[in-house]
Amino acid sequence: MRPRPHIVFRNTLQRLTIHCVGEYRMCHQQRRVRTSTGTRREEETMAKSGLLFFPRTAETVVTAARQMESLGYDLLGLADTPALALDVYVGLTLAALNTSRILLGPCVTNPVSRYPTVTASAVASIDTISGGRAYLGISGGYSGVHNLGLRAATTTSMRHVVPLLRDLMAGKAVAVDGSTVQIAWARRPVPIFLAASGPKGLFIAGQVADAVFVNVGLLPDLVAEAVGHIRRGAEASGRDWRQIEIWVMGVASCAEDAHQAIEEVKGAAVGIASYVLSGNPRDKAIPRGMEEAVARMCRGYSTRQHLQPGTNPNVVLAEELGLMDYLLERFALAGSPEDCRKKAQALEALGIDGFLFSVSASPDLYRDIRMLARALGTGEQPG
């Protein structure tokens, strides 16, 4: 039986000195400079690495957070899906009190199940508790919305939501539904990562976000096309697109036994695909001849089984439709550490700023954290 970790509940602000906070912020503000084509210069550092998972238990959150920080990951994300896991901000508080360096945030929340003012206050609270290490990951919503009987926010609405949240977290007075609202104690505009998958969402992300979780899959051509949408959005708003952090999103499973890792990631691959590939097929880069099968998968997907470990009806459905090989190729980083490293390197060559992989469906979370660190070279510097 695995021993329970000692969970620390102490005043992190006393533990973190002003020097440490300043050092952390300086580290995360030292961004790679892209060339006009989007590629990094050779002397620049490797892409950052982050993982997201469901906060299923307090023990899981604390152990995983400590492990990720010790292995050199840059970013930790907890899913905001109330029907399937613990409250995201309870989990982030535990993570903040048990780490000192890693970036922390909801990954991702939405403006539907949580009112923007409430979200802004919660994230600003995590930023204060952690000594300036919070970020806000947000999208229109998926399982965290649908499992509560609600509808996701429209893509267009995010053009208004993101600046609103930024101002609220900076302590500014803003107009909300005809009233003036202010979080008077908030002081810092926490970085906002907008998760986007379609052309419109990526364009809007380029207009308003500090960083983008690019959720189109792990095929280099699709990622390059997505970056183009972000660039056009930024330029349309008079922004320098090179100042927007670009993180590629996918699902991952890594083990010495490559076959085992691939089997274990199937549920996650179907889960991310059901979200990314729903809607207008012309915007989803679906191979010719697969459109109807993909539509059937998206219609039949059960969000109540979203990213649950093991075989579930969603996996069975995708396999019956003959889609599994394609979904794994497009959305999953899976196999041995060597397999995963090769796929990641092909994406890193595009000049992206970071990787964000979901390990929410992992039956062995701590193994995946350890093995993916080896595959991605977390904590290493190029020689």
Q: What is the pLDDT of residues 75-106, one digit of tens each?
A: 999 999 888 899 999 999 999 999 999 999 99
The reported pTM is 0.87
CA distance 373 to 341: 10
| Pairwise pLDDT comparison (351 vs 29), residue with the higher score | 351
Q: Determine the Cα–Cα distance for residues 195 and 116; give it in Å rounded to an integer.
A: 16
∠ Cα 310 311 312 (to 5°):
115
> Buried (b) or exposed (e) across 50-61, using 16+ Cβ within 10 A?
bbbbbbbeeebb
Count the alpha carbons within 13 Å of 353 in the hemisphere toward its beta carbon. Answer: 23
Structural domain boundaries of the chain?
A: 38-259+332-376
Q: Which residue has the tokens 């006009």?
A: 36
Q: Which amino acid is at 223?
A: V
Cα 367-368-374 angle, rounded to 5 deg: 95
54 closest CA partner among 342, 376, 363, 373: 363
Are the CB atoms for 276 and 327 separated by under 8 Å?
no
- The CATH number of the structural domain formed by 38-259+332-376 is 3.20.20.30
Q: How far apart (Å, rounded) are the C-alpha atoms in residues 239 and 263? A: 43
Contacts of 189 (CB under 8 A, 6+ apart): 166, 167, 169, 170
pLDDT(228) > 60: yes
Compute φ and ψ for 279, nearest 5 degrees.
95, -155
**Helix segments in 218-279, DSSP class H:** 220-236, 258-276
Q: How far apart are CA 356 and CA 295, in angstroms?
A: 26
Q: Is 114 exposed, middle or buried (0-12, 13-18, 19+ CB in 10 A)?
A: buried
Q: What pLDDT, on the 0 to 100 scale, is given for residue 46?
A: 85
Higher pLDDT, 18 or 273: 273
**Is 80 exceeded by the pLDDT of residue 373?**
yes
Measured CA to CA, the distance from residue 165 to residue 136 in angstroms comes to: 9
Q: What is the DSSP letter of 105?
A: E
| CB proximity list for 93: less than 8 A, separation 6 or greater | 126, 129
* Cα gap 157→200, rounded to integer Å: 11
Q: Is the pLDDT of residue 296 over 50?
A: yes
Which residue's structure tokens are 């000192």? Answer: 100
Please report the pLDDT score of residue 45 as a whole number: 65
| Residue 1 pLDDT > 70 | no
**Span 264-275, average pLDDT:** 93
Rg over alpha carbons for the chain, rounded to the nearest Å, is 20
Residue 151's pLDDT band (boundaries 50, 70, 90)? confident
CB 213 within 8 A of CB 245: no
Dist. CA 165–CA 142, nearest whole Å: 20
